[in-house]
Amino acid sequence: MGGLLLVVIMKKIIAAAIAFGILILVAIYFSSSISSFLIKNQTPTDYRPTHCNQDGCIIPEVFSKLPKYPEDFKIDSVTLENETYFKQPEFYPTFEQNIFYYVNPPTDYLGFYGYGAFPSEGTYTRGQNQEVITPFLIYSSWYVIKYQGLKLNVAMDDSIKDYFDVTIDPDVVLLEPTFPVFENNWTQLVKMRVKIKNPPAGRYSIGVTVSPAPGNYSDLWYQKYGPKYTSGGFISLSQPIYKVTLNIQ
Amino acid sequence: MDKLLIITLILAILVMSSVAFAEFATTKVFFNIPQVTSFAIAMPDTYAGAQNFSITATTLASANSTDFVSFNATAPASWVQPSAAGSFTRNQSGNATPIFQIMNLGNVNITINMTLNDSGTFALQGLNVSVNATTTGGNLACGNKLPGGAVGANETARNLTNSSFTTLIFNLTPTATAACKVNVTMWGFINSGVTPGEYAGNLITNSSKT
């Protein structure tokens, strides 16, 4: 009698456990579906944090031409190639320390020219006859009001030129202004492709330098943007804007 | 047997639940060294004035898309101060209002070069490079070195040669505050035969007012 009762109780427990499990799975399924439905059918929420200093906060209009700030914003090798992330100024480590340009900009000077690269270096280990595709972002510096046409050039020592085939895509870019608001194309993804031929094992460096955009590009952009456009060139950096180090095994 | 069944069911539910929640798992990959190389050049102006959005090249006879700085004179002249192209109210005023301010907006040191490709009717007569770090107590706050090893000192009469780059600043440290900038002040020498609007090269236009 006691054994029979135990079996009945056990069966009820099992039934309850199964029912509970099914209930949980159904709840998960529907909550996920509802979430997906909501996400797909509503305007994305802008999760951008407020940026303030002792003088005030950046007004939302400054970011109005950018993609919505994603809820899961993060900086990593995946988001580096996703414009929803990399077009956010917050993606760049130096933005926060320069928010004064947008909170309380200088009243006597304006930025006319300037660019940057993030990251500005990469390191890879590869073997013979392999390939490296290294992405980086080239962007208009904070507080720059001009459209800038830039040519990206491969820079490497003559002694290693036979060891690598290097291409940059794109190698001509138009960077849009970052002031008074961030234009949508203020930053652009660039990929450097290095085909390794037959170098001796060792460490090699290949850089990217910047020069004015070629005349046909500049002419076109000047026609479109007039004096808001510049191709710069009279002031430059002595070092590459981006450098990849290859450890060849 | 019943106990085994119960344990199996519980485990199954747990496993299925973990699978159901798997979509919420996240993976983070960080750059080891997020280095940023960046600089910007500012010129006298104010956004409130917005002159830069209405500049036309018509005030300089043959100014083109690269017009940026003009040395203007109606007759041969020395020590001519530049102005932002197209707006002669946006002038350099000696060291008090340099024509360029250069900021290191990255997080690594940078070295800045400058070039000038003049047309033969113009020569750069003087070039001062200094560091403005007034709110941090002095030039050393910017940590830069000028060519020759001096720290934060002014220079005069630097020669900029055609189509080659001259170093303005070595190892300029990142601009941590608005006050830490490199000031570049230039003076031009315009000799006889200057042609109004004559193009001097790159971002520098040598011109008479038209």
Q: What are A128-137's pLDDT values in tens digits?
A: 999 999 999 9
B-chain residue closest to A111, CA distance:
B42
Q: What is the mean pLDDT of chain A?
A: 86
More confident site: B163 or B113: B113
On whether residue A154 sits in a domain, the answer given is yes
Secondary structure class of A37 (helix, strand, coil)? helix
Q: Would residue A31 count as lying in a domain?
A: no
What is the distance in angstroms between the Cα of B19 and the nearest Cα belonging to chain A? 10
- Structure tokens that stand for A142 in this block: 């904070």
Domain boundaries, chain B: 39-207
A207 within some domain: yes
Domain that holds residue A212: 52-234
Judge whether residue A51 has pLDDT over 80: yes
* Helix H or strand E encompassing A233: none
Chain B nearest C-alpha distance from A98 (Å) = 8
Which residues on A lie below 8 Å from B17 (Cβ)? Answer: 24-25, 28
> Other C-beta atoms within 10 Å of A60: how many?
10
Residues of chain A in contact with residue B115, where contact means CB-CB under 8 angstroms, are: 233-236
* pLDDT for B184 beyond 50: yes
The per-residue pLDDT for B168 is 73
| Chain A residues closer than 8 Å to B44 by CB | 108-109
Q: Does residue A24 belong to the interface with chain B, where contact is any CB pair within 8 Å?
A: yes
CA nearest B107: which of A124, A119, A104? A119
Instruction: Quote the CA–CA distance of A25 and B126 in Å, as a whole number.
Output: 78
Q: Where are the beta strands (DSSP E) in chain B?
A: 37-44, 69-72, 77-80, 82-84, 100-104, 110-115, 122-132, 165-172, 181-190, 204-207
Confidence (pLDDT) at A233: 65
Of A76, A119, A230, the CB nearest to B68: A230
Q: Which has the minimum average pLDDT: A110-114, A121-125, A200-204, B110-114?
A: B110-114
Q: Where residue A112 falls among pLDDT bands split at 50, 70, 90?
A: confident
Residue-level pLDDT at A117: 95
Indicate the angle between helix axes B2-20 and A2-40, nearest 10 degrees.
10
Hey, is the C-beta of A246 within 8 angstroms of any chain B C-beta? no
Q: What is the DSSP letter of B54?
A: S
What is the count of structural domains for chain A? 1
What percent of chain A is predicted at pLDDT more than 70? Answer: 88
Chain B residues within 8 A of A12 when measuring between CB atoms = none
Interface probe for A, chosen from B1, B30, B36, B180 (most Cβ of A below 10 Å), is B36
With respect to residue A125, please indicate whether it lies within any of the assigned structural domains: yes
ipTM of the complex: 0.77
Determine the Cα–Cα distance for residues A112 and B122; give it in Å rounded to an integer: 23
- Asked whether the predicted pLDDT for residue B21 surpasses 80, the reply is no
